[in-house]
């Protein structure tokens, strides 16, 4: 059985019988974990082992673990600072900031790999324009070249830990005030301005070997009437064609308010996949998940299958060995000292 194009969530600290059957559906390819799924490193490691054991190839297990406001696992994991703190250091000492960015990426990834989580949806490549509260200090910097520089180092650290990187939110969420979790943001800027500024970090990171990208639930009126994640112009023409991205395109959560203009949840999933997404996320709504699995129909894209299996984690250190690893202890000190 290959990996399907749908990523779902689960409700608690362990899998229910219904969830086990749902995750065995051939259209399912991954699971995203949230804070409600976390109690301790031992518990989440057991949960991930259970999920991985359901299928061959094993389902992808992902989490949003950026640091700052967006870090799902807390007790037992290093408290990661917001990425913007690295940008502040960059303004004073770019070399030190790059070194700390690589260390931060490695530390984030190696702690997740130690509980066998395949990847985090990171890093954020949006620009901190001082407009979007939902982005804000989740972004490295306001300058495209600075974001690209720091994100490159951060990704290098993730790769050293055996984790693929996913940049978000293409082509950029930083210029709109509305939060796509609760509204549909609209960006009226010219395409030439978006390409010259917001797209630059994505373009650089694609060149550096970025494995995944998540489009924004934002309408860019100069390009399409659909949000970027449902737009074949953004995904197939610009991202795949012009920028030559060959990795995985993940939709943002189809249950978010910014996605609901595309129709019911089945219509959203079909539209996102037809626009060029390889995997769609359906979160926080088990009924919607069942509707997608029942209504999506037969789906088989061999190219997407190959892209998705590359998102599996590689190195898998044990937590006991990490606790004795001087490089790990030094990284913890360095990263916790950033704030």
Distance from C-alpha of 57 to C-alpha of 109, rounded to nearest angstrom: 21
Active site residue 252: yes
Helix, strand or coil, per DSSP, at residue 60: strand
CA nearest to 224, candidates 167, 296, 282, 171? 171
- The structure tokens listed for 331 are 């990284």
* CB-based contact 119:60 (threshold 8 Å): yes
Active site residue 181: yes
Catalytic residue among 181, 285, 290, 305: 181
Task: Count Cβ atoms below 10 Å from residue 182 Cβ, excluding itself.
Answer: 10
Catalytic residue among 9, 252, 253, 278: 252
* Measured CA angle at 121 (ends 12, 282), to 5 deg: 50
* CB-based contact 84:139 (threshold 8 Å): yes
CA dihedral sign, ordered 105, 106, 107, 113: positive
Q: Are strands 279-282 and 6-8 parallel, antiparallel or unpaired?
A: parallel
Residues acting as catalytic residues? 181, 252
């Amino acid at each position: 059985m290959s990996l399907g194009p749908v990523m779902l969530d689960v409700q608690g600290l362990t899998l229910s019988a219904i969830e086990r059957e749902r995750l065995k559906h051939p259209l399912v390819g991954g699971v995203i974990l949230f804070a409600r799924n976390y109690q301790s490193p031992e518990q989440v490691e057991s949960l991930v082992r259970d999920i991985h054991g359901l299928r061959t190839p094993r389902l992808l297990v992902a989490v949003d673990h950026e640091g700052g406001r967006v870090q799902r696992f807390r007790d037992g994991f290093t408290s990661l600072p917001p990425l913007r703190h690295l940008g502040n250091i960059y303004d004073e000492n770019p070399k030190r900031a790059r070194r700390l960015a690589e260390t931060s990426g490695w530390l984030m990834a190696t702690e997740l790999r130690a509980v066998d989580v395949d990847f985090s949806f990171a890093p954020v490549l949006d620009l901190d324009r001082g407009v979007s509260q939902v982005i804000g200090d989740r972004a490295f910097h306001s300058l495209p070249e600075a974001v690209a520089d720091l994100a490159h180092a951060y990704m290098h650290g993730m790769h050293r830990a055996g984790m693929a990187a996913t940049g978000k939110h293409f082509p950029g969420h930083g210029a709109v005030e509305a939060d796509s979790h609760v509204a549909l943001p609209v960006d009226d800027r010219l395409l030439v301005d978006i390409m010259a500024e917001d797209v630059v970090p994505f373009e650089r990171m694609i060149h550096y070997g970025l494995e995944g990208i998540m489009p924004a639930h934002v309408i860019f009126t100069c390009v399409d009437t659909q949000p970027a994640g449902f737009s074949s112009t953004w995904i197939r023409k610009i991202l795949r064609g012009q920028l030559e991205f060959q990795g995985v395109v993940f939709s943002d959560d189809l249950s978010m308010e910014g996605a609901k203009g595309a129709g019911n949840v089945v219509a959203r999933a079909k539209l996102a996949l037809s626009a060029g997404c390889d995997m769609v996320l359906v979160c926080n709504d088990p009924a919607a998940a069942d509707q997608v699995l029942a209504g999506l129909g037969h789906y088989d894209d061999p190219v997407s299958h190959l892209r998705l299996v590359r998102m599996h984690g590689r190195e898998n250190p044990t937590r006991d060995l990490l606790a004795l690893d001087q490089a790990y202890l030094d990284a913890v000190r360095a990263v916790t000292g950033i704030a």
